[in-house]
Amino acid sequence: MAVSQHQADTIIAESKRALAFLHPNNLPVRSAAAWTLGYAYQLKGERAAAKKAYSDALAVSQTIGHYIIRIMATFGLGNLQESENQLDQAFQTYRQVLELAGDPPMPVFCEAYLGLARICCEWNDLEAAEQHLQQSMRLARQIEYTDRLVTCEIFQSKLMLAKGDLARASSILIKAGQYVRRHSFVYRMPDISDAQVLVSLRMGNMAAAEWVEAYGLPFSPVSAARVHLAQGNTAAALALLEPWRQQVEAKGWEDERLKTMVLQTVALFAHGEKNEALRLLGETLKLAEPGGFVRLFVDEGLPMARLISEASAHGIMRDYTAKLLAVFEAEQTHHGLQSEPLRAQPLIEPLSARELNVLRLIAEGLSNLEISERLFLALSTVKGHNRIIFDKLQVQRRTEAVARARELGLL
């Protein structure tokens, strides 16, 4: 019961009691208790302990032919490999466990299909990711009273973002949030809040992102930093990211470390620390290249595209940066975001679609208050956009911004 509700402390206490009282020869139940212990450690972020417990459960279950525990322990090890950024190894682990699936596969195999979907998405094979996701969702719907379908839907929203379907990404999260509240799966709210912030910012809807923040809904320091960046407060974003990175490094959370470093590079660049941003980007690329990470960078949009282009020009990881730039350019052509090649852009960091809208209204002579009313944005958000626009155009005043934009053909 505690496992179904992801109650780590209860799982650990009961698993240890079971292992203390079970007869040494009762291997079927002892292997099950080892698996539940591994799952609890994984929930708590104690990944080394989780890996040992899963390995113990797998070894015993293979010896005695305990089918279900063998499957669950293998899922767990695949999850840990993902969290260690070992995507190739995790992919093979999920494929390996699917070889045990019957026809039709049992619902529990939804975990393996979802793992394959996540990895294919990260490798930018979006069609394969969609196929694996549909398999996972079909199986997850057969499991009642669990949050497995919600987990699928949260990932589905990310996949829709990668495909540029923002409206569908948003509607999926609304549905997932309703399901979570209806079934009291409160422990999933931070994941949904993180995803909602990402979708809101991608849609240029700062008001929604600020609403999530204002009402204290739980989301990660990385998401909070994204909101600060969108508001133009780069100092606040950096102040959140550096201590968070130190925490996840101390815990050995390699996936969170990599995500944080990626956003740090964007924040440093926006803050005017170009050299430090490039140095950190080089370090980040070295960590990401063995796993073949693509969406981790591409999903950051044009600011990261400019950084990757700069890194390539400086001879940093040229093969890897060339691969990433090819994906950036293909996406911009597909989504109609930009007609010129990345390297031909006159600005170091191009203006976003929202920033261009604000700039056009500035050129029309509207005040900040009038712009906020026209675009349904908070006044503070408009002022934040102004600061970012001025920084990107390297000007100090509105009139200079309009003149510079006309020189560059932006108006």
Give 118-132 pLDDT, tens digit per residue. Answer: 999 999 999 999 999
| 331 and 226 housed in the same domain | yes
| 257 and 341 housed in the same domain | yes
pLDDT score for 339:
39
- Tens-digit pLDDT profile for residues 360-373: 889 888 999 988 88
pLDDT score for 344:
37
15-24, 68-77, 346-355: least confidently modelled range: 346-355
Tell me the Ramachandran region of residue 216: left when phi exceeds 0, alpha when psi lies from -120 to 50, beta otherwise: left
| 341 and 387 housed in the same domain | no
pLDDT score for 232:
84
- Give the residue, 355 or 140, on which the prediction is more confident: 140
d(CA 34, CA 25): 14
d(CA 254, CA 351): 32
Taking residues 24-48, report their average pLDDT: 96
d(CA 74, CA 66): 12
- Give the residue, 334 or 381, on which the prediction is more confident: 381
218 phi and psi, to 5 degrees? -75, 125
* Distance set, CA 257 to CA 49, 153, 224, 262, 306 (Å): 19, 24, 16, 9, 22
pLDDT score for 153:
96
pLDDT above 50 (res 310): yes
pLDDT score for 343:
42
pLDDT above 50 (res 76): yes
- My answer on whether omega of the bond before 218 falls inside 30° of 0, hence cis, is no
* Residue 221, amino acid: P
pLDDT above 70 (res 88): yes
24-28, 125-129, 273-277, 377-381: least confidently modelled range: 377-381
pLDDT above 70 (res 243): yes
Residue 139 domain-assigned (yes or no): no
d(CA 215, CA 179): 20
Confidence of residue 159 (pLDDT cuts 50, 70, 90): very high
pLDDT above 80 (res 56): yes
Confidence of residue 329 (pLDDT cuts 50, 70, 90): confident
| 293 and 231 housed in the same domain | yes
Taking residues 273-294, report their average pLDDT: 96
Mean residue pLDDT of the chain comes to: 89
d(CA 222, CA 246): 13
HSE, side-chain direction, 13 A CA sphere, residue 364: 12
Residue 23 domain-assigned (yes or no): no
Residue 315 domain-assigned (yes or no): yes
| 308 and 233 housed in the same domain | yes
Residue 299 domain-assigned (yes or no): yes
Range of the domain at 258: 220-348
pLDDT score for 74:
96
* CATH code at position 398: 1.10.10.10
Residue 237 domain-assigned (yes or no): yes
pLDDT above 70 (res 169): yes
| 357 and 324 housed in the same domain | no
Residue 97 domain-assigned (yes or no): no
Burial of 86 (0-12, 13-18, 19+ CB in 10 A): middle
pLDDT score for 33:
96
Non-local CB neighbours of 261 within 8 Å, separated by 6+ positions: 245, 280, 283, 284, 287
Residue 195 contacts residue 158 (beta carbons within 8 Å): yes
| 391 and 284 housed in the same domain | no
pLDDT above 60 (res 213): no
| 396 and 359 housed in the same domain | yes
d(CA 105, CA 103): 5
| 358 and 343 housed in the same domain | no
**Strand, coil or helix: 377:** coil
pLDDT score for 207:
62
Taking residues 337-355, report their average pLDDT: 57
| 337 and 237 housed in the same domain | yes
| 313 and 375 housed in the same domain | no
| 329 and 385 housed in the same domain | no
The residue with tokens 């430090």 is 276
pLDDT score for 288:
98
pLDDT score for 246:
97
Q: Is the dihedral of CA 4, 156, 44, 64 positive or negative?
A: positive
**Strand, coil or helix: 259:** helix
Tokens of 17: 């009691």
Domains contained in the chain, number: 2
pLDDT score for 333:
67
pLDDT above 70 (res 215): no
